[in-house]
Amino acid sequence: MIEATNHQLGDIMAWRRRWQVKSTADKNQAIVMSRSREDTRLLEGKLKFGDYTLAIKDSINILGVEVDFRLSFDRHLETVARRASLRVTLLRRVSHWCRGRRSIHCWPSVVMLNTPLHLVQQ
């Protein structure tokens, strides 16, 4: 199984060279989706992608969605909920700027703020 996987990874590297597709080593991710944690231990340190050895991770990020080895989105949902909570907190902290103003004109400028919470203090 390891030899076949490394052969396929070699084919991907050949395709990348042919089409001049470049990426950095930290962009490459590997995950083992199995009920057995022993499968992960067997593959650790044995998958080669060009000159790099791929580290097996418990979760990977695919197009902004974090997926773990059980195909669960729990970590992703926790991250999204944390970000939403921080933004709601930010809006609460700056909502006093809009009092007495028509909210349709005020809120778009407040929502566009992408400032860390510690910078929005009185």
Instruction: Clarify whether residues 59 and 79 are in a common domain.
Output: no
Cα separations (Å) of 16 from 21, 31, 56, 70? 5, 21, 22, 29
Q: Quick: pLDDT tens for 68-104.
A: 888 888 888 999 999 999 988 888 887 776 666 555 4
Residue 110 clears pLDDT 50, i.e. is over it: no
Q: Which domain holds residue 23?
A: 2-68
Instruction: Clarify whether residues 59 and 81 are in a common domain.
Output: no
Instruction: Clarify whether residues 10 and 59 are in a common domain.
Output: yes
Q: Quick: pLDDT tens for 16-59.
A: 899 999 877 778 889 988 888 888 888 889 999 888 899 899 89
Contact assessment for residue 33 and residue 69, using Cβ atoms and an 8 Å cutoff: yes
Q: What is the pLDDT of residue 7?
A: 93
Contact assessment for residue 9 and residue 49, using Cβ atoms and an 8 Å cutoff: yes
